[in-house]
A and B are shown apart, each in its own frame.
Chain A
Amino acid sequence: MSQTTPGANEPKPAGSRRRRLTPLPLDKQSRRFMWLQIATPFLAILFASLIGSLIMLAIGKDPLNVYARMFSFSFGRADSIATILFRATPLIFAGLASAIAFKINVFNIGVEGQYLMGAMMASIVGFTVKGLPAYIHLPLVIVAAMLGGALWALLPAYLKVKRGVHEVISTIMLNYVAASLLHFFIANVFMDKSQVVGQGGMGSPRMRMPLIEASARMPTLHSFFAHLGVNFPPHVYVNWFLFIGIALAAVLFYVIWRTPFGYEIRAVAQNPTAAEAAGINSKRQIFRTFLISGAIAGLVGLSDLLGFFGYMDIDFPRGRGFDGIAVALLGKNDPFGVILGALLFGFLSRGSEGVLVFSGVPAEVITIIQGVMILSIVVAYEIVTRYIRVQKKKEAIGA
């Protein structure tokens, strides 16, 4: 019964020297539980697809046909695959921002507002600073975005730690404030007046900030994939932020599981009182993690901003923050799980376009499937966790 003591195989807290952890040999039962845990999200996805099937049947579509179309459209063409990767990129950042906060039991619903502020800061640094080489300008813009996101997380983090204000309500209020503030800065402060309106006085200028300097744009991955023999068509914009997101996931994984900082996060999440008793300042840790979550949230919009649009406008994509929460839940707040969740959402988003065009199924059916998927996945995780606990208890009594 090597697995019954919780935290038995966790790394030692602060001060311990770097050491390799030899994984404990899994007995037969633990292996069965592991497979069960891996199977859980797939069962939940299956359940959500069944609900989706019922809706499709209700509007007179053949679900098998629709799903087949979704798969063939999404995986049968190079531009679909590139689009899935492009759509997944911001969701990786949004998912990581939510997940790191969830890790310490903070519900950062404010990723939405934080990424708008991050993208706005990035945009401002992107068009006001001129004449810098790309290897300075681009990192500068990225840092500005992180600062913007962290700044927008500062108030709810402070209110939570100092005043006990629940972050769910405070961050949601700040999401609305951020949207208004962004509108103000675009329309009243930085509006690009130099836009040339279409010939003959037709059309009207876009409600947008000036174009971001070329030195702050993020190159696409086309040439990289061309080396691998894959040629993406020019109308997709998957860019280096995809790899930055994956690298960030790896860094977070290391921080959470292999550093004292991550240990403190996990300790506070499990039992703040016990963590305090062990000398961890849990409020400070919550505050810091909240700000880190905000800084990561600041990066969410950059793939669109620096890799696609090149300017900040009033129609800048919204809702990524909420998708990020879903992605984090899907991935069970594990950084690599988040990547998988983001890819799944990228696939659903691209696939929904396919079924809309080729099968006439409204894209909202896919939104509903996403909602059902989140609910069923958390329910499924909970049931499995409880089942394993009961089984282990039984075993312990039997042994």
Chain B
Amino acid sequence: MSVSELLASALRMSVPVLLTALGAIYSERSGIVNIGLEGMMIIGTFFGAVGGYYYGPMVGVILGMLAGMAFALIHAVATVTFKINQIVSGVALNILAAGLARFLCIQIFHMATTSPEVHQFTKWNIPGLDRIEVLKPLVTGISPLLVVALLAVPFTHYVLNRTVFGLRLRSCGENPLAADTLGVNVYLMRYLGTAIGGAFAGLAGSFLAIEHTGMYIEGMTQGKGFIALAAMIFGNWSALGSMWAAFLFGFAESVSFRVVSSKIPYQFIKMIPYLLTLAVLAGVVGRAQAPAQEGEPYERGGA
């Protein structure tokens, strides 16, 4: 196995974590903690497969994003409007998502745990570079969604730090009262932040179903939504930082697939991404800086 092959695989593996982590940034910067991202990803995998199976990958991606967004809106209604505990709502959404995906899978595909194979995107090659044998795994067979995910990093960085919208969004997470006083609609911003987060998680899910395995499989997200949250914390709530963290997890996962033949029992190798997440969190949380008012409901006019 060549180095470029390993890197290419790590890059592919990091896409779902990266996309969801970027989504989590929008949500958390607006002040909403979203443990339900895992569930939104699950819904994304399913609707990505539905769209991909019946109408092609493009529709799959759009459906997956819309479904993730719809689920995120439930979270927004529960936490922003009704001000219920954000963790509780997220946990409930995760349970709901798993049940709903299974139910719909039986209804639509007449199978409980998998969908049929779905249509994938046409893969891209980088012309010129694809002649170099050593780089081949890296520069051929590139999923367009991988490119989208990579482009989403500078895009998110720009939106958050260089636009009026980004400033307003961040102000709602740091000091909603001050934002409100200055005429920012805190509720609207938090709705938008949560919805964008859900759309990203849905996109991540549809990537898993359409591009990664080519079908929906029950439980295929395997806690990536939670790993994404950890990646975001590791990346200190910034797009660039989250990207490096996501690469790290992608690398760990692709390594864990490749050392199967060694003497270490494979159950321990399967633990690597999760133990890495734990280690990373234990090491960084002390210096990470969360948005000041994250997790706190905001009551207009004072509680």
A is bound by B: yes
A interface residue numbers (CB < 8 A to B): 55, 59, 107, 109, 155, 159, 163-166, 168-170, 172-177, 180-181, 183-184, 187-188, 322, 325-326, 329, 362, 364-365, 367-368, 370-372, 374-375, 378-379, 381-383, 386
Q: Separation in Å of the A144 CB from the closest CB of chain B?
A: 22
Select from chain B the residue with minimum beta-carbon distance to A55.
B103
Q: Are B98 and A168 in contact (CB under 8 A)?
A: no
Closest A residue by C-beta to B227: A173
Tell me whether A176 and B222 are in contact (CB under 8 A).
Answer: yes
Contact with A along B77-102 (1 / 0, CB 8 A): 01000111101110111111111101
Instruction: Determine, out of B126-134, B143-151, B183-191, B272-280, the stretch whose residues face the partner at the interface.
Output: B272-280
Q: Is B25 an interface residue (CB 8 A)?
A: no
Residue of B83, B93, B229, B271 touching A375 (CB-CB under 8 A): B93
Residues of B139-165 whose CB lies within 8 A of A: none
In the complex the two chains form, what is the Cα distance from A165 to B285 in whole Å? Answer: 6
Considering the chains assembled together, what is the distance between the CA atoms of A181 and B270 in angstroms?
A: 10
A260–chain B nearest beta-carbon distance, Å: 27
The verdict on A364 contacting B223 (CB below 8 Å), with A163-B282, A371-B96, A375-B96 known, is no
Taken together as a complex, chains A and B put the C-alpha atoms of A181 and B227 apart, in Å, by: 19
CB distance from A66 to the nearest CB of B (A): 14
Contacts of A168 in B (CB 8 A): 35, 87, 226
Closest chain B CB from A269 CB (angstroms): 12
Known: A165-B282, A168-B35. A375 touches B226 (CB 8 A): no
With A180-B270, A325-B91 as known contacts, state yes or no: A169 contacts B230, CB within 8 Å: yes
- What's the nearest-Cβ distance from chain A to residue B264, in Å? 10
How many A-B residue contacts, CB cutoff 8 Å? 127
In the complex, the answer to whether B271 meets A180 with C-beta atoms within 8 Å is yes
Contact A382/B83 with A364-B102, A370-B99 known, Cβ cut-off 8 Å: yes
CA distance A7 to B87 in the complex (A): 26
In the complex, whether B74 has a CB less than 8 A from a CB of chain A is yes
B74 to chain A, nearest CB (A): 7
13 additional contacts (CB under 8 A) given A164-B285, A176-B222: A107-B87, A159-B282, A170-B281, A176-B274, A180-B271, A322-B95, A362-B107, A364-B102, A365-B103, A368-B96, A378-B89, A378-B92, A382-B84
A321 to chain B, nearest CB (A): 11
Rounded to whole Å, the gap between the CB of B35 and the closest CB of chain A is: 6
B286 within 8 A of A: yes
- CB contacts (< 8 Å) of B107 on chain A: these are 59, 362
B223-A172 in contact (CB<8A)? yes
**Given A169, A181, A187, A381, which contacts B281 in the complex, CB threshold below 8 Å?**
A169
Chain A residue numbers with a CB within 8 Å of B97 are 371
Q: Is B265 an interface residue (CB 8 A)?
A: yes
B285 touches A375 (CB 8 A): no
For A377, give the chain B residue with the smallest CB separation.
Answer: B92
CA separation between A175 and B227, bound complex, in Å? Answer: 13
What does DSSP make chain A's interface, helix, strand, loop or mixed?
Answer: helix
Contact present for A367 and B99 (CB under 8 Å): yes
CB contacts (< 8 Å) of A55 on chain B: these are 103
Interface contact A383-B82, CB-CB below 8 Å: yes
- Chain B facing A: main interface SS: helix
C-alpha spacing A386/B89, complex, angstroms: 18
B223 surroundings in chain A (CB, below 8 A): 172-173, 175-176
For A322, what are the chain B residues with a Cβ–Cβ distance below 8 Å? 91, 94-95
**Cα–Cα, bound, A378→B270 (Å):** 36
Q: List 15 A-B contacts (CB under 8 A).
A: A107-B91, A155-B278, A163-B282, A172-B226, A174-B278, A176-B271, A183-B267, A184-B267, A184-B268, A187-B267, A364-B99, A367-B95, A368-B96, A375-B74, A379-B84
B292 at the A/B interface (Cβ < 8 Å)?
no
CB distance from B220 to the nearest CB of A (A): 14
Q: Which residues of B contact A164 (CB under 8 A)?
A: 285-286
Instruction: Note all chain A residues with C-beta closer than 8 A to B271.
Output: 176-177, 180-181
B106 within 8 A of A: yes
Contacts of B265 in A (CB 8 A): 184, 188
Chain B residue at smallest Cβ distance from A183: B267
Q: Which of A165, A166, A180 contacts B268 (CB 8 A)?
A: A180
Q: Which B residues are in CB contact (< 8 Å) with A175? A: 223
A368 to B100: give the CA distance in the assembly, Å. 6
A370 and B95 contact, CB distance less than 8 A: yes
**Contact yes or no, B277 A173, CB < 8 A:** yes
Complexed CA–CA distance, A172 and B222 (Å): 11
Within 8 A of A (CB), among B197-242: 222-223, 226-227, 229-230, 233
B282→A371 contact, CB < 8 A: no
Q: Residue of B at shortest CB range from A365? A: B103
Contacts of B78 in A (CB 8 A): 375, 378-379
State how many angstroms separate the Cβ of A155 from the closest Cβ of chain B: 8
B218 to chain A, nearest CB (A): 11
Neighbour of A374 across the interface among B87, B95, B227, B278, CB < 8 A: B95
